[in-house]
């Protein structure tokens, strides 16, 4: 496959017009399943918006190699002027998941051709996964689908990378991306008129105190050689300009690689909240959402990744440091060896320079063929086809 198939471009443009948020990817899922039906490819539906394809190989080997694409979009109003821009107000494929899905659909068609030709030697599992952006769709899918029945040995994933040049594949062994844990702090104070402020318990005072103390955790309580983020994304307190604030709220995220650091951060946050309540007389709750673990690339897969990149005509770039982005591909490490890599889409001459999760993110669709070739090369390297 040396030229870009017309269907690859069609898939991307069709999907780009119907972006849907996490666990609501109904039109997207219908498109995926209709495409598979048209190709006479059977599939499983373990979740309403999850689709899994199993291709059985010719050999008696029970081991299976998996490939994953995420399918959800983001609550962003698109600002590009492409003719196939989002038709859903307030939603956009600003993270490239339309590209990921298009790559896997095209790879599925190729796998079907090889199977029909009797050239598929070993088992392949394709995973069209919902809800990567929130609510840990990978975790939900792992609990809903019997991956253990297929003896999945390895799982590979790709993500478009706007900071990486075209025709480059970027990854690294070990930790590639951070764990991501959201937190919410809700403070309950006691209202009073500003003229009698001593009779109240200021939620505003408590919130600002907590925010200041959170900013000290990295400096004083964590290993300076470790990359960690304790970020405040939203902060609000107060009801009127002349009253002591009754309610206060803080929301944010924690990013880290070392599990012990996450535990230490959470313990310090609990201490800060308790101390603040003692100081201000407030009542505060601190809740942590179930986070995404750090993405870990198994070192034993790096030779396969290198061979796949070489065969696909891609330059392999080994990243010096991990990203602090979160990604729920990390959950697949609990069931198989995994590798996650970034497929470069940056082209300054063509203006493809905008970052992920931005309203102007876009890329040259020809680059998607690099992803298809990479998956084909992985299949060839591992002897899945002959």
Is 357 known to sit in a ligand binding site? yes
At residue 1, the pLDDT reads 53
φ, ψ of residue 216 in degrees (nearest 5):
-95, -10
Mean pLDDT confidence for 347-366: 97
pLDDT at 62: 82
CA distance 45 to 36: 12
Mean pLDDT (whole number) for 173-184: 96
Q: Which residues contact 161 (CB under 8 A, 6 or more apart)?
A: 170, 342, 343, 344, 345, 346
Domains 6-178+294-381 and 180-288 share a fold: no
Is residue 173 classed as helix, strand or coil in its secondary structure?
coil
Domains of the chain, by residue range, sit at 6-178+294-381, 180-288
Q: Determine if residue 11 is labeled as part of a ligand binding site.
A: no
Average pLDDT of the residues in 343-371: 98
| pLDDT at 185 (0 to 100) | 98
The predicted structure's pLDDT at residue 235? 98
What stretch of H or E contains 100? helix 97-116
Tens digit of pLDDT for each residue in 266-322? Answer: 999 999 999 999 999 999 999 999 889 999 999 999 999 999 999 999 999 999 999
**pLDDT more than 70, % of the chain:** 99
For residue 329, which of 173, 156, 163 has the smallest C-alpha distance? 156
The fraction of the chain above a pLDDT of 90, given in percent, is: 94
Is the pLDDT reported for residue 18 higher than 90? Answer: yes
pLDDT of the residue at 59: 84
Q: Report, as an integer, the average pLDDT of 45-62.
A: 93
Q: pLDDT per residue over 70-112, tens digit each?
A: 999 999 999 999 999 999 999 999 999 999 999 999 999 999 9
The arithmetic mean of pLDDT across residues 349-362, rounded, is 98
- Residue in the block written with tokens 């999907």: 15
pLDDT digits (tens, 9 = 90+) for 203-254: 999 999 999 999 999 999 999 888 899 999 999 999 999 999 999 999 999 9
Confidence of residue 3 (pLDDT cuts 50, 70, 90): low
- Is 97 annotated among the ligand-binding residues? yes
Q: Quick one: pLDDT at residue 290?
A: 81
pLDDT of residue 70: 98
Per-residue confidence (pLDDT) for residue 2, from 0 to 100: 56
Q: How far is CA 136 from CA 160, 214, 245, 298, in A?
A: 19, 26, 35, 21
Task: Give the other-Cβ count within 10 Å of 220's Cβ.
Answer: 7
Q: Environment class of residue 9 by beta-carbon count within 10 Å: exposed (0-12), middle (13-18) or buried (19+)? A: middle
Q: Determine the average pLDDT of the residues in 128-157.
A: 97
Whether 95 has a binding-site annotation, put simply, is yes
The pLDDT assigned to 341 comes to 98
Of 176, 158, 215, 170, the closest CA to residue 293 belongs to: 176
Structure tokens at 33: 């399943």
* pTM reported for the whole predicted model: 0.91
Q: Determine the CATH number of domain 180-288.
A: 3.30.70.360
6-178+294-381, superfamily in CATH?
Zn peptidases (3.40.630.10)
* pLDDT at 60 exceeding the cut of 80: no
Question: What's the chain's average pLDDT?
Answer: 96
């Amino acid at each position: 496959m040396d030229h870009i198939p017309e269907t690859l471009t069609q898939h991307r443009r069709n999907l780009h017009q119907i972006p849907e948020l996490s666990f609501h990817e109904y039109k997207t899922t219908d498109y995926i399943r209709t495409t598979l039906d048209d190709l006479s490819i059977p599939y499983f539906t373990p979740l309403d918006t999850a689709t899994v394809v199993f291709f059985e190989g010719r050999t008696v080997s029970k081991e299976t190699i998996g490939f994953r694409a995420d399918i959800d979009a983001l609550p962003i109003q698109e600002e590009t002027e492409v003719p196939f821009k989002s038709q859903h107000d307030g939603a956009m494929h600003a993270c490239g998941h339309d590209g990921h899905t298009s790559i896997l659909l095209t790879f599925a068609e190729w796998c079907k051709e090889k199977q029909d030709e009797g050239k598929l030697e070993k088992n392949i599992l394709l995973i069209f996964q919902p809800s990567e952006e929130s609510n840990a769709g990978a975790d939900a899918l792992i609990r809903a689908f019997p991956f253990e029945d297929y003896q999945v040995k390895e799982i590979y994933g790709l993500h478009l990378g706007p900071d990486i040049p075209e025709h480059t594949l970027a990854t690294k062994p070990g930790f590639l991306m951070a764990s991501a844990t959201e937190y919410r702090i809700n403070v309950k104070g006691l209202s009073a008129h500003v003229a009698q402020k001593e009779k109240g318990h200021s939620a505003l005072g408590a919130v600002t105190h907590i925010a200041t103390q959170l900013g000290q955790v990295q400096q004083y309580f964590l290993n300076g050689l470790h990359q960690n983020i304790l970020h405040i994304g939203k902060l609000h307190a107060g009801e009127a300009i002349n009253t002591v604030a009754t309610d206060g709220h803080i929301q944010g995220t924690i990013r880290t690689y070392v599990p012990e650091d996450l535990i230490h951060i959470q313990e310090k946050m609990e201490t800060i909240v308790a101390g603040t309540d003692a100081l201000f007389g407030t009542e505060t709750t601190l809740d942590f959402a179930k986070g995404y673990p750090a993405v870990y690339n198994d070192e034993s897969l790096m030779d396969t990744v290198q061979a796949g990149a070489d065969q696909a005509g891609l330059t392999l770039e080994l990243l010096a440091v991990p990203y602090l982005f979160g990604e729920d591909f990390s959950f697949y490490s609990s069931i198989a060896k995994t590798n996650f890599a970034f497929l470069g889409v940056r082209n300054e001459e063509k203006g493809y320079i905008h970052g992920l999760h931005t309203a102007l993110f876009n890329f040259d669709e020809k680059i998607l063929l690099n992803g298809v070739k990479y998956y084909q090369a992985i299949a060839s390297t591992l002897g899945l086809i002959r």
